[in-house]
Chains A and B, each alone.
Chain A
Amino acid sequence: MAEQEKRNRSFSSEPELEEDAEVSPDALKNSERIKGDLDGLLDEIDEVLEANAEDFVKSYIQKGGE
């Protein structure tokens, strides 16, 4: 039965880390890239965010639909 089986799935896109090794340069570079991407994304978002968050959220009212 499904709930009693242990699924053993490796997630293929994660970098494989060697045992007993320090974090590999590749893994460091990858996480830097991810952080860099996130910073860039947040910069872009900052540029278009609604000016007054409080007013925006308060005034976003909808009628109930289906």
Chain B
Amino acid sequence: MTIKKTFGIETEYGVIHRGVSDPNPILASSLLINAYLYAHSPAASGPSAPRPGWDFVHETPDKDIRGFVSPESIAPEIEAHLVNAVLTNGSRYYVDHAHPELSAPECSNPLSVVQYDVASDQILISSMKAAKEVMPPGQEIVVYKNNSDGKGNSYGCHENYLVDRETSFDLVADHATAHFITRQIFTGAGKVGCEIPGYSRSDVPFQITQRSDFFEEKIGLETTLKRPIINTRDEPHADPTKYRRLHVIVGDANLCQVATFLKVGTTGIILSMVESGVLDRKIRFEDPVRSLQQVSFDLGLKEPLELTNGTTITATEVQWWFYEQAEKYVENFGTEHLGGDSVPLVFEWWRKVLEGLESPDNLEPLVGVLDWVSKKHILDGFQERKKISSSDVQLAAIDLQYHDLRPEKSLFKKIKQEILISEEESNFAVKNPPEDTRAYFRGKCLEKWPENIVSANWDSLVFDSGEENLQRVPMLEPLRGTREQTENLLNSSNTVSDLLERLEDNKRDD
């Protein structure tokens, strides 16, 4: 059975603390987030979050301000311990594995996903500015939206898709594998060098993706080592009898809006096709991990990939097949459950990009559309101008700096990119939640009653209304809690007690 798609992206960012001899990324990430919360979002929730009037107590010295010139030069309100906050736009901003991580709110369509992805980057940019203001001169925390340090360490940009629990997971895994291997031709963010042990930078001057080097398994539960193409984590954050959350770890973080849009839009459509049972053919790779890597290395976009039935296929051919199946699918099933109005745009860009990729010797029209193409455009031009070899370290530097989120330093920002989201829309998304998912209820409650929310999670809110017991409000339906459903309720409730009472009344009336 096909269900209405809900989408979400969570991004782990690279973080560098400049101007200190012994940088600590956990500390830097904490400082970054706390500085943002202090400056911009006193309505953030969580026991360690700064709230208006909250008093901070300094942590023990050995774990804490190490790395800063002097503790006194940091504003005393900024604590540098681990932080885990929820923002008024419904997202979660926290430290994970020594990286600042931002999990954007649940979105009902791929265009909204891009809107909140751009907003997430804006939040990180504001965080850098806020942190700079409280740090001693000469120090700076810099954030990078990429997936590797070039030294064998990788961090992810994960996508989440709501999937019907009834659909066979094996079926989902089969088709998703074929898509994840081949969509790299438009989701790849490009990388100088290779991080598979045994390879050197000169062996692989450039490849299409950041992440494929780090994948070793076809399917599995791991996320930090022996990474699998299909992650089997079963944590739906929703009604577990109805839903599955497909947690996708294999993609690159994207800066080009179209790349993000296609990454999420195409995957949503394909998962819906699997749910509807319309795909009558399985494209099964003989060695999925090897094919994943082959696609990443294949700049000519023509490499034949081995299938289990003894034939071969190219990545573009697989994508064209999905595209054609999807065209037929929406004719019969419509687009409402896939993201409505934004779906025709997904098709338009999917087609444009696939057509463009048919000419791998002239990818100029896709600069500003796909990250790997944009990055390669800069690298090739720079190499030609400076007359340097393809293993020159300046090219590795360009690779990294492409992803520098500081607007004045970002090389990506120098490219004329194809814009899908207006500045107004992304500014709105920094502070306000999507209106058509449960993120709305979460974000608006946080905005209105920050002092009364003890904890906020994806599938529940815990309120302190002043009564003896705390009250937990479950939110097991990702599409319940929208503006349409809850705006009146929220506006007509002055206190949390009012709100809880009305929720109780509504439950009785249901």
Using CB atoms and an 8 Å cutoff, list the residues of chain A in contact with chain B.
Answer: 2-3, 7, 9, 11, 13-14, 34, 38-39, 41-42, 44-45, 48-50, 53-54, 56-57, 59-66
Contact = CB atoms under 8 A, between A and B. Distances in A.
Contact of A53 (B14, B148, B225, B393): B393
A66 B411 contact: no
Contacts of B101: 65
Contacts of A38: 377, 381
Q: Which of A13, A53, A66 has the most CB of B within 10 A?
A: A66
Interface residues of B, number: 57
B365 A66 contact: no
B358 A64 contact: no
Classify the interface of chain B: helix, strand, loop or mixed. mixed
Contacts of A53: 393-394, 396-397
Contact of B364 (A9, A34, A59): A34
A54 B358 CA distance: 36
B381 A56 contact: no
A66 B158 contact: yes
B362 A65 contact: no
Contact of A13 (B224, B365, B409): B365
Interface string B379-423: 001100100000001101110110000001101001100000000
Given A2-B320, A53-B396, A57-B397, A65 B99 contact: yes
A32 to B, nearest CB: 13
Contact of B98 (A42, A50, A57, A65): A65
B358 A66 contact: no
Contacts of B425: none
Contact of B398 (A11, A49, A64): A49
A60 B153 CA distance: 11
6 contacts: A11-B355, A44-B414, A45-B382, A57-B396, A62-B14, A63-B25
Interface in B136-160: 144, 148-151, 153-156, 158
Q: Which of A45, A48, A60 has the most CB of B within 10 A?
A: A60
A63 B398 contact: no
B96 A66 contact: yes
Contacts of A61: 149, 151, 153
B317 interface: yes
B155 A65 contact: yes
Contacts of A2: 313, 317-318, 320-321, 324
A56 B98 CA distance: 20
Pairs A-B, 7 closest by C-beta atoms: A65-B155, A63-B98, A53-B397, A2-B321, A62-B149, A66-B223, A65-B97
Q: Which of B358, B397, B411 has the most CB of A within 10 A?
A: B397
Interface in B83-126: 96-99, 101
A14 B312 CA distance: 30
A63 B153 contact: yes
Contact of B153 (A7, A39, A56, A64): A64
Given A53-B393, A57-B393, A65 B400 contact: no
